[in-house]
């Protein structure tokens, strides 16, 4: 009799519209697999992880660190990552190759944090002096693309006038300079600020005269379709980290300095603060960003742009502004 009554009660509960399913849904954790950039572009993600912002947004984050945005993109292609930040060039190449992903925001604008550096003891003071010498660049990135197509020609250099050494990981470029394997190197933050502080390098040029270098925040179409709430939860935590970077920069620098310490680099907070202040944190996919992406794509199909893509992708269809709007409304 008791067993019969129990089944009857359960049946009544199940007949109440939305009761049991909603309870099950409430208990279902939101999960996401995140690529965290090893350079300064990963700062907001690092802060959100360390400060517990993702957890407080109801999100369980499984994350992996990558040296380059295109490596995170390739992990997306392999089905191992749901969210990744990458520069426009690999983003466009991915769209051209049919990678099923969408831009959901702008991770950062980093031209002031991307430099051409020389050893402090070097007699090179201008990119024009690279003739007959070698520069260390990460090939297949927007850093290489902008240097080869805009910076070098701006100083009267043709491709045959200098050599490029492919050095994907920024942490390996300073040792290459010290070993005299290269004469100049492209270097991002926080590596530049650290090497300036210890007297190893000096900045010859940054990228802002040539390209703003927006870093695109992307999500797979699969995660957007199957678990949009998880993407919104990610954006909520990420926006909190950006707020900290803008409004409490010293606190944000202290958090990021702890991350550097975990990687074996003990760096003073003021040095990290210098590096972070060279970044611009502007999350929105504005009309200017859309135009920039269209112009970038048009350049990439030309011989001057290396014919890196076959055709201009439908940029408007590759941008999703709704998720960021929902994340702001949910805060």
Is pLDDT at 4 greater than 90 in this prediction?
no
Is pLDDT at 15 greater than 80 in this prediction?
no
Q: Please write the tens of the pLDDT for every residue from 167-214.
A: 998 889 999 999 999 999 999 999 999 999 999 999 999 999 999 999
Q: Please report which confidence band the pLDDT of residue 306 belongs to, taking 50, 70 and 90 as the band edges.
A: confident
Report yes or no: 201 and 222 within 8 Å, Cβ to Cβ.
no
Count Cα atoms within 13 angstroms, Cβ side, for 215: 30
| Spatial separation of the C-alpha atoms in residues 264 and 117, rounded to whole Å | 23
Report yes or no: 110 and 276 within 8 Å, Cβ to Cβ.
no
- Tracing tokens 């199940």 back to the chain, one arrives at 14
Q: Please write the tens of the pLDDT for every residue from 213-237.
A: 999 999 999 999 999 999 999 999 9
Partnered with residue 31 across adjacent β-strands are: 60
Q: Domain extents for the chain?
A: 29-110+213-330, 112-206
Is 112-206 the same fold as 29-110+213-330?
yes
| Spatial separation of the C-alpha atoms in residues 243 and 249, rounded to whole Å | 9
| Spatial separation of the C-alpha atoms in residues 225 and 68, rounded to whole Å | 26
Count Cα atoms within 13 angstroms, Cβ side, for 129: 13
Q: What tokens appear for 257 in the block?
A: 């300095």
Global confidence as pTM: 0.84
Q: Please write the tens of the pLDDT for every residue from 241-273.
A: 999 999 999 999 999 999 989 988 889 999 999
Is pLDDT at 8 greater than 70 in this prediction?
no
pLDDT at 304: 82
| Spatial separation of the C-alpha atoms in residues 111 and 208, rounded to whole Å | 5
CATH code for the part of the protein at 29-110+213-330: 3.40.190.10
Classify domain 112-206 at the CATH superfamily level: Periplasmic binding protein-like II (3.40.190.10)
Is pLDDT at 10 greater than 80 in this prediction?
no
Partnered with residue 186 across adjacent β-strands are: 116
Average pLDDT score over residue span 309-326: 96
| Spatial separation of the C-alpha atoms in residues 323 and 19, rounded to whole Å | 27
Three-state DSSP state, 33 = strand
Q: Please write the tens of the pLDDT for every residue from 43-78.
A: 999 999 999 999 999 999 999 999 888 899 999 999
Each as own residue / partner, the long-range contacts of residues 313-322 (CB below 8 Å, 24 or more positions apart, any chain) are 313/92, 313/95, 313/96, 315/290, 316/290, 318/95, 318/101, 318/102, 318/103, 319/102, 319/103, 319/285, 319/290, 320/102, 320/103, 320/104, 320/219, 320/224, 321/284, 321/285
């Amino acid at each position: 009799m008791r067993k019969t009554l129990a089944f009857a009660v359960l049946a009544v509960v199940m007949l109440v519209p939305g009761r049991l399913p909603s309870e099950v849904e409430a208990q279902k954790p939101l999960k996401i697999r995140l690529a965290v950039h090893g350079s300064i572009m990963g700062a907001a993600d690092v802060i959100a992880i360390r400060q517990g912002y993702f957890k407080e947004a109801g999100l369980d984050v499984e994350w992996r660190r990558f040296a380059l945005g295109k490596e995170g993109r390739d992990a997306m292609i392999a089905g191992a990552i749901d969210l990744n930040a990458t520069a426009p060039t690999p983003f466009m190449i991915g769209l051209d190759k049919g990678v099923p992903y969408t831009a959901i925001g702008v991770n950062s604008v980093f031209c002031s944090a991307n430099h051409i550096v020389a050893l402090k003891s070097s007699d090179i003071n201008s990119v024009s002096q690279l003739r007959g010498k070698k520069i260390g660049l990460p090939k297949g990135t927007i850093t290489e693309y902008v240097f080869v197509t805009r910076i070098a020609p701006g100083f009267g250099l043709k491709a045959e006038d200098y050599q490029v050494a492919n050095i994907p990981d920024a942490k390996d470029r300073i040792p290459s300079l010290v070993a005299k394997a290269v004469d100049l190197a492209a270097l991002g933050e926080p590596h530049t600020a650290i090497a300036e502080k210890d007297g190893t390098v000096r900045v010859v040029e940054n990228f802002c005269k040539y390209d703003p270098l927006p870093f695109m925040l992307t999500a797979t179409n699969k995660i957007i379709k199957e678990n949009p709430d998880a993407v919104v939860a990610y954006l909520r935590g990420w926006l909190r980290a950006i707020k900290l970077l803008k409004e409490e920069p010293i606190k944000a620098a202290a958090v990021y300095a702890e991350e550097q310490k975990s990687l074996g680099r003990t760096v003073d907070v003021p040095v990290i603060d210098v590096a972070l202040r060279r970044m611009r944190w502007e999350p929105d996919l504005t009309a200017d960003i859309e135009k920039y992406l269209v112009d970038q794509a048009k350049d990439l199909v030309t011989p001057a742009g290396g014919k890196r893509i076959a055709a201009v992708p439908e940029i408007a269809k590759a941008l999703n502004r709704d998720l960021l709007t929902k994340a702001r409304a949910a805060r």
